[in-house]
Amino acid sequence: MDIGTVIMNKRKALGYTQQSLADKLNISFQAVSKWENGTNYPEMDMLPIIASVLDTSIDSLLGYKSFVHSDYDKRYDMKDYYWGITPNSLCYEIIKLQPPVKPLKVLDIGCGEGKDAVFLARNGYMVTAFDLSETGIEKGKRLAEKCNTYVDFLKADLTDFRATEMYDIVFSSGVFHFIKPEIRKELISNLQEHTNKNGIHAINVFIEKPFIEIPPDKDSNRFRWKSGELFMYYSDWKFHKMEEIIFDCNSGGIPHKHCMDTMIIERMQ
Ligand SMILES: C[S@@+](CC[C@H](N)C(=O)[O-])C[C@H]1O[C@@H](n2cnc3c(N)ncnc32)[C@H](O)[C@@H]1O
């Protein structure tokens, strides 16, 4: 992403207009507009100030995402597949609801080592899948190759990623707790706007419950969701599945529980 797009995404995520960002930077809104439409670039000495106002780093502004590492890189650095290669049951529900009778485009957000992306690609979908973990992405590519299929795997940070093309299916499992509450609305709106009519979102999120202990495998940057919070963003979509479950987990070798909200919903207009 170019610097103008990064500035625009960060500005919107923070709820600033071009004018309010310009006021904070003590410049004209036309200057911000020119950055965002790519007709001009910020002066070098403005970068630290822009980064500070937009609550980000200069690296991020300049799109140097490859230096950001995922906590998962270490976990995925093993011969076997950390999450196995059995697809998530949501994938079967996607196939039932939107069988690939025509070329359907899938976006898998936080694809890990690619088991679900590869499964969907093998079943005839055109899949783009991204994750912050380079190790995960490399393993995903190897899995796709082994299965004689192709997935457009890329390394990206969902905090910065914004869809620019249309998809029929947006899938994400076990990932949305990495999205800070303050950018959820903007990020989900972007995904909704880039979903074709009758396209679906199949997403699950970890839920915070006062009676469930914080899991021992807690990631430092985890922002669990409130019950029902995800569903509220989709009040004008058709719900095919909307459930909340509590389940036992043994990841990391310590038995614990998780609460999870899952939905499959369809864009109707
Ligand atoms: C619990 S794993 C789920 C992986 C995969 N969806 C699956 O079910 O096998 C969470 C994944 O989110 C990825 N992740 C964490 N923060 C991320 C971010 N900011 N942008 C993109 N991916 C991220 C991690 O690298 C990890 O692969």
> Is pLDDT at 108 greater than 90 in this prediction?
yes
Q: How does the average pLDDT of the chain come out, rounded?
A: 92
What 8-state DSSP symbol labels residue 174?
S
Q: pLDDT (tens digit, 9 = 90+) per residue, 220-259? A: 457 999 999 999 999 999 999 999 999 998 877 888 899 9
CATH number of the domain at 72-266, out of 3.40.50.150, 3.30.200.20, 3.40.50.720, 3.40.50.12280?
Answer: 3.40.50.150
- Interval between CA 246 and ligand 1 midpoint (Å): 20
Percent of the chain clearing pLDDT 70 (strictly above): 96
Distance 98 CA to ligand 1 centre (A): 24
**CA–CA gap between residue 224 and residue 76 (Å, rounded):** 22
What ranges do the domains of the chain cover?
A: 3-63, 72-266
- For residue 88, give the ligand 1 atom closest to its CA: 8
With a 6 Å cutoff on the Cβ, whether 175 touches ligand 1 is yes
The answer, yes or no, to whether any atom of ligand 1 lies below 6 A from the CB of 87, is: no
Beta pairing class for 256-266 and 195-207: antiparallel
Q: How far is the CA of 155 from the centre of ligand 1 (A)?
A: 11
Task: Kindly state if the Cβ of 136 falls inside 6 Å of ligand 1.
Answer: yes
The pLDDT assigned to 220 comes to: 46
Q: What is the pLDDT of residue 253?
A: 80
Per-residue model confidence (pLDDT) at position 159: 87
Relative to the CA of 133, which ligand 1 atom is closest?
A: 25
265 alpha carbon – ligand 1 mean position (Å):
21
What is the torsional sign of CA 64, 40, 27, 184? negative
Q: Reply yes or no on whether the pLDDT at 121 is more than 50.
A: yes
pLDDT over threshold 50, residue 185: yes
Mutate to test the pocket of ligand 1, among 131, 170, 191 (most ligand atoms within 8 A of CB): 131
Instruction: Return the residue whose CA atom lies nearest to atom 8 of ligand 1.
Output: 173
Q: Please tell me if the CB atom of residue 160 comes closer than 6 angstroms to any atom of ligand 1.
A: no
Q: How far apart are CA 163 and CA 114, in angstroms?
A: 19
CATH number of 3-63: 1.10.260.40
CB atoms within 10 A of CB 176: 23
Tens digit of each residue's pLDDT (9 = 90 or more) over 32-82: 999 999 999 999 999 999 988 987 778 778 876 545 667 899 999 999 999
